[in-house]
């Protein structure tokens, strides 16, 4: 693995290695505090972000490295019309590894064609978000103790939500997972996922419109925000934005060991009253994102804790 662009760039062995490393990092952080000394991470964010960018930066700082970059397209030469290729080539002169978020699908892949340093896709349009997927996998493994044999419900904007697309692809390699897709008809998962992932691998899935009807079966519910910025018109967004709101009432019929995940940011799809329920995992999930990004940066830079 030289770059991480698509979740399928990660083999099951890669995932095991990264999640094991993330666990070791959270147990023995002092072992890792200098492993990336003198290395620089550039965060090139052409789209808003809180967790992804800051967890990447915190990850590199906790590994003893440094960070540079920009957090909006307006503050980079993209505003002057510079191409992705030229931006990537330039930044490769200043940094050892790049994390890039971009509203256009495929932009981090294009960048990876022009540079020798590792490129990490930190979210490309409605397409992929492989480091959120690693975060989600670590969270599922930490909460459930396994990555197979469970029923997972994906709820909300399954059409535009890149975190959902990436996680489904990654999970498709694990055994005996039941998938329940909970969304309004207009926000169902894209056809390419149905064909290229579920049909091709002979995996069955259900599509339902009401979360109440499936709640008792779920081991995990993956909530998502309706992705306003990817809608073509505001009226459709307004009509669909409050389709699903998870509150304490809806949780009454849920399993006692349900795990509630959300990549965040939340708008109002989870009532704040749910936050104090032990089944709410989303802030633990945000912390997991830092540990797994530390593991990923080490892997892509080819550094190990044993040398130090």
Q: CB-wise, 39 or 51, nearer to ligand NCD? A: 51
Task: State the nearest-atom distance from the C-beta of 29 to ligand NCD, in Å.
Answer: 22
Q: CB-wise, 32 or 231, nearer to ligand NCD? A: 231
Q: CB-wise, 65 or 123, nearer to ligand NCD? A: 123
Annotated catalytic residue 101: yes
Residue 169 vs residues 18, 77, 173, 195, 296: alpha-carbon distances, Å: 17, 34, 8, 12, 19
Q: 158: number of CA atoms within 13 Å, CB side?
A: 29
Annotated catalytic residue 51: yes
Q: CB-wise, 96 or 124, nearer to ligand NCD? A: 124
Task: State the nearest-atom distance from the C-beta of 161 to ligand NCD, in Å.
Answer: 7
Task: State the nearest-atom distance from the C-beta of 162 to ligand NCD, in Å.
Answer: 5
Annotated catalytic residue 200: no
On the question of a cis peptide bond just before residue 265, with omega within 30 degrees of 0, the verdict is yes
Contact at 8 Å (CB) between 123 and 129?
yes
Q: CB-wise, 294 or 303, nearer to ligand NCD? A: 294
* Residue 67 β-bridge partners: 41
Task: State the nearest-atom distance from the C-beta of 221 to ligand NCD, in Å.
Answer: 15
Q: CB-wise, 118 or 161, nearer to ligand NCD? A: 161
**Which of 21, 40, 127, 129 is labelled catalytic?**
129
Task: State the nearest-atom distance from the C-beta of 145 to ligand NCD, in Å.
Answer: 24
Task: State the nearest-atom distance from the C-beta of 292 to ligand NCD, in Å.
Answer: 13
Give the binding site for ligand NCD (CB under 6 A). Answer: 51-52, 123, 129, 132, 162-163, 225, 263-264
The set of catalytic residues is: 51-52, 80, 101, 129
């Amino acid at each position: 693995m030289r770059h991480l662009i698509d979740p399928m760039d990660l083999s099951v062995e890669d995932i095991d290695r990264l999640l094991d490393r993330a666990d070791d990092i959270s147990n023995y952080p002092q072992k890792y505090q200098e492993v990336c000394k003198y290395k620089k991470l550039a965060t090139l964010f052409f789209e808003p972000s809180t967790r992804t960018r800051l967890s990447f930066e915190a990850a590199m700082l906790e590994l003893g490295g440094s960070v540079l970059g920009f957090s909006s397209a307006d503050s980079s030469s993209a505003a002057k019309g510079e191409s992705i290729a030229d931006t990537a080539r330039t930044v490769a002169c200043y940094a050892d590894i790049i994390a890039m978020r971009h509203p256009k699908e495929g932009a981090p892949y294009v960048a990876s064609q022009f540079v020798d340093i590792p490129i990490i896709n930190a979210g490309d349009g409605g397409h992929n978000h492989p480091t959120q997927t690693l975060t989600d996998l670590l969270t599922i493994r930490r909460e459930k103790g396994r990555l197979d044999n469970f029923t997972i419900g994906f709820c909300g904007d399954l059409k535009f939500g890149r975190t959902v697309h990436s996680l489904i692809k990654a999970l498709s390699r694990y055994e005996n997972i039941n998938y329940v897709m909970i969304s309004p008809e207009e926000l169902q998962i894209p056809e390419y996922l149905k064909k290229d992932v579920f049909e091709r691998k002979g995996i069955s899935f259900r599509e339902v419109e009401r979360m109440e009807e499936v709640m008792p079966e779920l081991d995990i519910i993956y909530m998502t925000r309706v992705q306003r910025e990817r809608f073509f018109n505001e009226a459709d967004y307004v009509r669909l934005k409050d389709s699903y709101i998870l509150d304490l009432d809806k949780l009454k019929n849920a399993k006692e060991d349900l795990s509630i995940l959300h990549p965040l940011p939340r708008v109002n799809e989870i009532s704040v009253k749910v936050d104090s329920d032990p089944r709410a995992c989303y802030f633990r999930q945000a912390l997991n994102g830092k540990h797994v990004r530390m593991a990923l940066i080490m892997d892509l830079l080819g550094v190990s804790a044993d040398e130090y």
